[in-house]
Chains A and B, each alone.
Chain A
Amino acid sequence: MKRKDFFQLIQPLTEKLYRFAYTLIPDDLQAEQLVIDGLNAYLLKEKKTISKKEIDLNSKKETQLIRRMIFKGILRYISEIGARRSLQLNEQMRLNIPKDFAPYYSLEPKVRLVMSLRYDSQFTVEEIEEIVQMPRFEVIEKLHNGRFLLLNDLNKVATL
């Protein structure tokens, strides 16, 4: 695959990657950096495969399929790096958290990333397992915890 073709493949994903990164780290610059770091980690791991891969960009189906595969691949590294970085930046980021999303950012990073992948990026549980490299029971447990805590918060606000 030519480099320009690879760029053409991932360019439409920029916004989605950034949006996901921001659900982990609520800071514009840090989220942008996380996207770049996730992409670099993906490229370092997959550069040989990408170089050898042939793609026909005129085939819509093939393009969509490969784009989704690459999307999940980059998300995997953003998740891994982002979960760690989010813990490190926790104190620093506290002031940056948008007020409306405070309950979401109070969740632990791994719960946040599973919730974001499921409810924002609309991935299935199987796809999330693959992206976050967690066993199915753990993904389901984190989804359950996240849902419970957020709805609890919502009910608390409603009763005030």
Chain B
Amino acid sequence: MIEKNGHYNLFQKKIVPYLDGSLSKEETSEFEAFVLTHPEFEIQIKNKQDEIQKLKDMIPAAMLSEESQESIETEMRASIYNLIKEEPRGLFDTIRIKWEDWLNR
């Protein structure tokens, strides 16, 4: 019984790291094998998952308005065209690059 409790406690402490993905590969396999042989343990995992869902709900999930999305993408495009230089491959490519540079001035 003591051994069972010790084992239980050990794996109980590993639920959150398991859900967080911070266990090593060996520990993850060991944990999953333990859960397979102890189906009642799944309830505890479910409880932790619910707890994590509550945490997720406490983190803001901001969304961009259509107008803000357009404005931020315009700025992103300008940054890319200003900071990345393309090597032209022939005359037409040179004209295309110059044209794009002019459009994004």
Give the B-binding residues of A (Cβ under 8 A). Answer: 2-4, 6-7, 10-11, 14-15, 18-19, 22-23, 26, 28, 31-32, 35-36, 39-40, 43-44, 47, 50-51, 98, 101, 103-104, 115-116, 118-120, 124-126, 136, 139-140, 143, 147, 150-151, 153-154
Interface residues on B, range: 20 to 34
Q: In the complex, A43→B22 CA distance in Å?
A: 31
From B16, B60, B76, B86, contact of A7 by CB (8 A): B76
Q: Which residues on A sit within 8 Å (CB–CB) of B71?
A: 32
Q: Is B59 an interface residue (CB 8 A)?
A: yes
A104 and B86 contact, CB distance less than 8 A: no
CB-nearest residue of chain B to A104: B58
Q: In the complex, A47→B87 CA distance in Å?
A: 12
A51 and B87 contact, CB distance less than 8 A: yes
Interface residues as binary, B35-61 with A (CB distance below 8 Å gives 1, 0 otherwise): 000000000000000011011101111
Q: Is B91 an interface residue (CB 8 A)?
A: no
Q: Is B11 an interface residue (CB 8 A)?
A: no
Give the A-binding residues of B (Cβ under 8 A). Answer: 16-17, 20-22, 51-52, 54-56, 58-64, 68-69, 71-73, 75-77, 79-81, 83-87, 100
- Ordered by A's residue number, 27 sampled pairs between the chains whose C-beta atoms are within 8 Å are A3-B80, A4-B100, A11-B76, A15-B63, A15-B69, A19-B61, A22-B62, A23-B60, A32-B68, A36-B76, A36-B79, A43-B80, A47-B84, A51-B85, A51-B87, A98-B60, A104-B58, A115-B55, A119-B55, A120-B59, A120-B61, A125-B20, A125-B21, A140-B22, A151-B51, A153-B58, A154-B54
From A2, A118, A140, A143, contact of B86 by CB (8 A): A2
B85 and A154 contact, CB distance less than 8 A: no
Known: A2-B86, A14-B69, A14-B72. 14 other contacts (CB 8 A): A11-B76, A14-B64, A22-B62, A26-B60, A35-B76, A43-B80, A47-B83, A98-B60, A103-B58, A115-B59, A119-B55, A119-B56, A125-B21, A126-B21
